[in-house]
Amino acid sequence: MNYIQITDLSKSYSDIEALKDLSLEINAGILFGILGPNGAGKSTLIKILATLVEPDGGEVFINNINLIKNPRKIRELIGYVAQDIALDKILTGRELLDFHSDLYHMKKKEKYERIKLLINQLQMNDWIDRKCGTYSGGMKRRIDLAAGLLHLPKVLILDEPTVGLDIESRNIIWQLLKDLKNDGMTIILSSHYLDEIDKLADSLVIIDDGKVIAQGTPAQLKNKLGGDRITLKVREFSTHEESKKISEILSSIDGISQVIINKAQGYSINFVVDKEKDLLTKLKVELAFSKFEIFSLAQSQPSLDDVYLQATGKTLLDAEISMTGKRDLKKESKQSMR
Amino acid sequence: MELKQYNLFFLYQETVALTKRLFIQLKRRPSTLLAGILQPIIWLFLFGALFSKAPEGFLPGVDSYGNFLGAGLIVFTAFSGALNSGLPLMFDREFGFLNRLLVAPLASRLSIVLSSFFYITILSFVQSIVIMIVSFVLGYGWPDFYGLGIVFTTLILLVLFVTSISLCLAFVLPGHIELIALIFVINLPLLFASTALAPISFMPNWLGWLASLNPLTFAIEPIRIAYTQTMNLDVVALHAPYGDLTCKSCISILFSLTVFSLIIIRPLLNRKLN
């Protein structure tokens, strides 16, 4: 049995369906990535796992404990690092960690040892005794992460922990996550950064519109695409008709297994190709023969973004952009308030 | 709130931690404490001076207006402090810190509410004691030992009553702006519609009725008795339009209101915290 079992999870906020019968299985001791654009349902899933939001339907079991029926037992197992950093600005970092360790009922000796260890691990010695209100974004994120790790949770849940961070803080957090995973901790990391999930995750799920659209290891998901990607544009902003016509002409070339027209990127044409064959030359010849000019043409290895593109017909960046302005962040913030 | 799962030591540990946090905030930002003390002291000086030349016997049972006003300002100090007690919780809600507390395996989430009660009770007591000392220095008297017991009992009941309402509002209202606005709206009108500044006999009939139904009046009158005469629970403290009330009756009404408010906020707290 998997360590974390999520079955048919659903959640709605007034007229918005955030999760639609979502099911997942997560093994113990891995770093599990949750990838998806803003508004895909990642944070709702994370909040349900952190016992902060009650689902409308479905079940969640962590280590065979029913999350909905025994939230307190689940809280003993999990550490949670929220997307929005919540610190008491008036306390110093050390006072904040001391405060949190009391909420986790740690013994005096144990808590001082843990606090000392985490201060060293997250390189916080130089500023730990300053008030949290004076910290930079990276410092805040590190102290927030330390607070979530005080009680040595079996499962660490992180909601977009590196958003807006400087490179130094991001690298420190990445290294810590790798170390924690090597020590046997199960880590659930939600992100909309492809490289982060690609580098860190042993297994991942891609969520879009509250549903799972792909699940597996990064390599499995990329291999499923069947080959390299070639992206072609005959002009900066083409039309659907033009791109369709070109794709019909080019799709018969031997070695092209799939053609996707990407509307969000000016109707660019994406080919899934056999990487063993030199298809760039063939494409150039065929385009010249058909009297089409080339605006851009590039071949690359498949990425997680291609996996997302394959499933949804849009890139992750495009999905992010399309969500801009559609979300009422103030309303969502109010909804997440108790 | 999972009463059966209470582990008393854990409850104690988390309540102490939550209360300590509020006191560290107070120590580093003492303006709330100082404003809560300064405001009633200024009132004591100004109102005391305003009526300093009032004819003798102007107010029944007291030597001076300051002597009359002291009880009202002690109650007002405790009331204002308790009314503001929902603000730290509201800020924790707004800034997501409450969620951080709620993901911890608290023995009982009641500790979040308990810490607010402890904090505001201690804070109100400190402020009230300072007002009592200033009143004493100004020559407005000091209650006897028994009277002091009545003063503190009454203040505890009032603080519990008002704090429970304020915490309730902190969960119900959408944000701190609305909470502060509501505090502004109810704070002074409740003071003026009580016997803090004038006895019921000075008021028009409608205001007399309002004042004699105002919970502040039930706290003010026993304290006023403690200040002006040897404490006796059976002495009439309030000549209300609906009849005379003794000190004991006033405290009993205040006690009932407190118990009632704690009972009615419990389902809301359960819903919001679980």
Q: Are residues A269 and A253 in contact, defined by beta-carbon separation less than 8 angstroms?
A: no
What is the residue-averaged pLDDT of chain A? 88
What is the residue-averaged pLDDT of chain B? 90
Look at residue B183 in the predicted model and tell me its pLDDT.
Answer: 94
Interface residue B100 vs chain A (CB under 8 A) = yes
In chain A, which residues have their Cβ closer than 8 Å to the Cβ of B96? 82, 84, 86, 336
- End-to-end alpha-carbon separation of chain B, Å? 7
Note the pTM of the prediction, 2 decimals.
Answer: 0.83
C-alpha A154/C-alpha B262 separation (Å) is: 38
- Burial class from Cβ neighbours inside 10 Å (0-12, 13-18, 19+) for residue B30 reads exposed
The answer to which of A172-186, A292-306, B191-205 has the lowest mean pLDDT is A292-306
- CB-based contact B25 A86, cutoff 8 Å: no
Q: What is the mean pLDDT of residues A166-194?
A: 90
pLDDT reading at A172 higher than 60: yes
Q: Are residues B246 and B236 in contact, defined by beta-carbon separation less than 8 angstroms?
A: yes
Give me B16's structure tokens. 């102490």
Look at residue B182 in the predicted model and tell me its pLDDT.
Answer: 95
**Residues in a beta bridge with A258:** A272
- CB-based contact A87 B97, cutoff 8 Å: yes
CA neighbor of A33 nearest in space, from A161, A165, A170, A210: A161
Give me B19's structure tokens. 């209360």
Look at residue A325 in the predicted model and tell me its pLDDT.
Answer: 61
pLDDT reading at B20 higher than 50: yes
- End-to-end alpha-carbon separation of chain A, Å? 34
Measured between CA atoms, the residue of chain B closest to residue A86 is B97
pLDDT tens profile A87-115 = 999 999 999 999 999 999 999 999 999 99
Q: Residue A336: pLDDT band by 50, 70, 90 thresholds?
A: low
pLDDT reading at B233 higher than 80: yes
In chain B, which residues have their Cβ closer than 8 Å to the Cβ of A336? 96, 99
Q: Are residues B249 and B93 in contact, defined by beta-carbon separation less than 8 angstroms?
A: no
- CA dihedral for A117, A121, A127, A132, sign (positive or negative): negative
Interface residue B97 vs chain A (CB under 8 A) = yes
| Overall residue count recorded for chain B in this entry | 274
Q: What is the ipTM of this complex?
A: 0.86
- Burial class from Cβ neighbours inside 10 Å (0-12, 13-18, 19+) for residue B183 reads middle
- CB-based contact B24 A90, cutoff 8 Å: yes
Q: Residue A328: pLDDT band by 50, 70, 90 thresholds?
A: low
| Angle subtended at Cα A212 by Cα A207 and Cα A215, rounded to the nearest 5 degrees | 95
Look at residue A323 in the predicted model and tell me its pLDDT.
Answer: 65
CA neighbor of A4 nearest in space, from A129, A107, A154: A154
Q: Residue B62: pLDDT band by 50, 70, 90 thresholds?
A: confident
Look at residue B3 in the predicted model and tell me its pLDDT.
Answer: 45
C-alpha B147/C-alpha B259 separation (Å) is: 23
pLDDT tens profile B165-186 = 999 999 999 999 999 999 999 9
**SS3 at position A84:** coil
Q: Residue A178: pLDDT band by 50, 70, 90 thresholds?
A: very high
Q: Residue A3: pLDDT band by 50, 70, 90 thresholds?
A: very high
Long-range contacts of B213-218 (CB under 8 A, 24+ apart): B214/B190, B215/B158, B215/B161, B215/B253, B215/B254, B215/B257, B216/B75, B216/B76, B216/B79, B216/B158, B216/B190, B216/B191, B217/B250, B218/B245, B218/B250, B218/B251, B218/B253, B218/B254, B218/B257
- CB-based contact B106 A103, cutoff 8 Å: yes
C-alpha B97/C-alpha A87 separation (Å) is: 6
- What Å distances lie between residue B270 and B1, B109, B178, CA to CA? 6, 9, 22
Long-range contacts of A275-283 (CB under 8 A, 24+ apart): A275/A227, A275/A228, A275/A301, A279/A230, A279/A253, A279/A255, A280/A230, A282/A253, A282/A255, A283/A230, A283/A232, A283/A250, A283/A253
Look at residue A338 in the predicted model and tell me its pLDDT.
Answer: 62
Q: Are residues B223 and B101 in contact, defined by beta-carbon separation less than 8 angstroms?
A: no
Give me B128's structure tokens. 């009230």
Q: Are residues A58 and A7 in contact, defined by beta-carbon separation less than 8 angstroms?
A: yes
Look at residue B207 in the predicted model and tell me its pLDDT.
Answer: 96
Look at residue B1 in the predicted model and tell me its pLDDT.
Answer: 45
Q: Which residues are within 8 A (CB) of A179 and not within 5 positions of it... i.e. 6 or more apart?
A: A121
Look at residue B2 in the predicted model and tell me its pLDDT.
Answer: 46
How far is A316 from chain B, CA to nearest CA, in Å?
28
In chain A, which residues have their Cβ closer than 8 Å to the Cβ of B104? 75, 100, 103-104
Q: What is the mean pLDDT of residues B206-214?
A: 96
Q: Residue A83: pLDDT band by 50, 70, 90 thresholds?
A: confident
Look at residue A106 in the predicted model and tell me its pLDDT.
Answer: 94
pLDDT tens profile B84-120 = 999 999 999 999 899 999 999 999 888 999 999 999 9
pLDDT reading at B161 higher than 90: yes
User: What is the edge-to-edge ordering of all strands in the sheet holding A296-300?
Assistant: A256-262, A268-273, A228-233, A296-300
- CB-based contact B21 A88, cutoff 8 Å: yes
- Burial class from Cβ neighbours inside 10 Å (0-12, 13-18, 19+) for residue A18 reads buried
Interface test with B, best of A73, A88, A152 (most B CBs within 10 A): A88
pLDDT reading at A335 higher than 70: no
- Burial class from Cβ neighbours inside 10 Å (0-12, 13-18, 19+) for residue A22 reads buried
Q: What is the mean pLDDT of residues B149-156?
A: 95
C-alpha A279/C-alpha A284 separation (Å) is: 9
C-alpha B243/C-alpha B251 separation (Å) is: 16
C-alpha A256/C-alpha A14 separation (Å) is: 45
